[in-house]
Each structure stands twice: as structure tokens, then as C-alpha cells.
Amino acid sequence: MPSSADAATTVSTTSTRDVRLVAPAAPLRDSYRRLVAGIVHGGEKLVPFVLGFVHAHFGALLARLADCARGIGLPDGFVAHSTYWLVEDHERVVGVSNIRHALTPSLLREGGHIGYGIRPSARGRGLGRETLRQSLRRAHDLGIGDVLVTCGQANVASAKAIVGNGGVLESEVFVPDRGEIVHRYWIRRGAGA
Ligand SMILES: CC(C)(COP(=O)(O)OP(=O)(O)OC[C@H]1O[C@@H](n2cnc3c(N)ncnc32)[C@H](O)[C@@H]1OP(=O)(O)O)[C@@H](O)C(=O)NCCC(=O)NCCS
């Protein structure tokens, strides 16, 4: 997993705030926990799925995420995946991104390379789009060329964030487990914002 030091390559100062995608780190513990609590409090599903990892022992969470990025200790059928946190003004975790290093048949169908989510209280001010923008750079750093990103048909904000980052709708599939139609977008290398 890249160190937080190289996060300086993916900084946005498009607003008055500094927003950057960084590797998970211990000093952000309390803010991360508030992000998770906000999603749980709102009764939402934890997206991306790594938000469901136990974080009572924070050091263990960080070690687990680092292992996932190296492909260590994964459940059957899982590929290595890297997690980054979108941090505002060096202290607030406002989003989470999870990048799958390769596509399994299941990810090719409905999960895609990148899953991401924004803290409910921080939504609607461009951070979803920014998370995806910076995640694309991370994906390319990980050697991923064209990037598949998917979202539920009703997820208008995510669809706009994907299209705003160069996503082109390839197809839609009905996913029985989710009971919804999922839209599949490809973002060709170099097409990102
Ligand atoms: C989807 C999600 C990441 C969007 O985050 P966000 O920070 O609100 O997104 P942004 O502010 O960057 O908005 C992205 C676009 O959606 C639009 N948008 C935001 N909220 C919207 C809403 N409720 N309805 C319609 N459009 C909306 C914005 O205007 C923007 O459009 P533009 O690019 O044309 O200006 C966020 O809602 C979320 O975390 N949802 C739960 C997890 C999830 O669904 N993740 C995506 C998995 S595919």
C-alpha cells in the first residue's frame, strides 16, 4: 500500500479546503469512527464494504487493511484491495474508497474496481466526485488500466460522479441479491477528469 507521504500527489484545493486521499492512519481514528457512526445512525448499508470491518482495536483494523492490500488473509474468491480515506483539512475523514486490484467474475458483473462512500453530513458538495477522481489516480498507480465502476440504477449522485469522471455506460444488469438493476460504467485510462 502506498504510504501517506505520497498522498501529496493527489491533493485537491478546488475549494478553500484541502482534500486528499490518503492511506488509513492512526491519528484519524476518532474521525473515522464518527464517519462510520454517521452511516450506521442513518440506517444505511456500509459502502464500501471495508467500512464493516471491526475497528474496536484500531491498530488491528489498520493491519487488516494493509494485509488486504497485499492480498494476505483474504476470504476465498477475494482479490487484493486497497483502501484510502478522503481527508479534509488534514483531520476529518469525509470519505472512503476501496480499490480492487483485479476483477473477478462477480466484480466484473456488478462490483467493479472501485467502491466509495461519503460521510452523510458531507454529501452534496463534490466530495463523491473528488473521491472517484483521486481514486482513479490511485488505481492507475496500482497498474489498473481501464476502470470499471458500477452503481445501482437509482443512485443518481453516484452515476453523475462516475460520468463526471469520464465513465461511459456499457450495460445494465439485474442483480437478484440486490433486487435492483446495476449500471456498469468503464472509465478508459486517461479519460478521467
Ligand atoms: C454516491 C455518493 C458517494 C455521492 O457523494 P456526494 O459527495 O454527495 O457526491 P457529489 O457531491 O460529488 O455529487 C456528485 C453529483 O451528483 C449530484 N448529486 C448529489 N446528490 C444528489 C442527489 N441526492 N440527487 C441527485 N443528484 C445528486 C451532484 O450535483 C453532482 O452532480 P454534478 O457532477 O453534475 O455536479 C454518496 O451519496 C454516498 O456515499 N452514498 C452512499 C454510498 C454509495 O452509494 N456509494 C456509491 C457506490 S456506487
- Reading the chain (193 residues) residue by residue, the pLDDT tens digits are 344 434 434 566 546 789 999 999 999 999 999 999 999 999 999 999 999 999 999 999 999 999 999 999 999 999 999 999 999 999 999 999 999 999 999 999 999 999 999 999 999 999 999 999 999 999 999 999 999 999 999 999 999 999 999 999 999 999 999 999 999 999 999 886 6
- 130-148: pLDDT as tens digits: 999 999 999 999 999 999 9
In a domain, 132, yes or no: yes
Three-state DSSP class for residue 179? coil
* CA–CA distance, 82 with 97 (Å, rounded to integer): 8
Please report the pLDDT score of residue 190 as a whole number. 80
**Which residue is it, cell 500527489?**
9
Cα 140 from Cα 23, distance rounded (Å): 16
Contact present, 113 and 98 (Cβ < 8 Å): no
Q: Given ligand 1 and candidates 40, 119, 160, 187, which is best to mutate, with the most ligand atoms within 8 Å of its CB?
A: 160
**Closest-CA residue to 20 (of 160, 130, 116, 100):** 130
**Domain assignment of residue 168, yes or no:** yes
Asked, for residue 192, whether it belongs to a domain, the answer is no
Predicted local confidence at residue 8, as pLDDT: 38
124: CA distance to ligand 1 center in Å? Answer: 6
Summarize pLDDT for 35-68 with one digit per residue, the tens: 999 999 999 999 999 999 999 999 999 999 999 9
CATH number of the domain that 126 lies in?
Answer: 3.40.630.30
pLDDT at 9: 46
Pocket lining: 123 vs ligand 1, CB cutoff 6 Å:
yes
83 located within any domain: yes
- Determine if ligand 1 sits within 6 Å of the CB of residue 45: no
193 in a domain, yes or no? no
155 CA distance to ligand 1 middle (Å)? 8
- Type of residue numbered 50: V
pTM: 0.93
pLDDT at 90: 95
H helices within the chain, ranges in order?
29-41, 58-70, 105-106, 127-141, 156-164
Q: Do the domain assignments include residue 48?
A: yes
Report how many domains make up the chain: 1
Q: Which one, of 69, 52, 180, 187, lies nearest residue 132 by Cα?
A: 187
- Is 147 part of any domain? yes
pLDDT at residue 10 in the model? 58
Binning the chain into helix, strand and coil, the percentages to the nearest 5 are 40, 25, 35
The closest of 14, 19, 23 to 141, measured between CA atoms, is 23
Contact 83, 96 (CB under 8 A): yes
Does ligand 1 come within 6 angstroms of the Cβ of 156?
yes
Residue 64 falls within a domain, yes or no?
yes
Which pLDDT score, from 0 to 100, does residue 1 have? 39
C-alpha–C-alpha distance, residues 30 and 1, integer Å: 22
All residues at 6 or more sequence positions from 97 whose CB lies less than 8 Å from its CB, including other chains: 21, 48, 83, 84, 85, 86, 114, 115, 116, 131, 132, 134, 135, 138
Q: Give the H/E segment covering residue 23.
A: none
Q: Which domain holds residue 72?
A: 4-187
Q: Please tell me the number of Cα atoms within 13 Å of 46 on its side-chain side.
A: 14
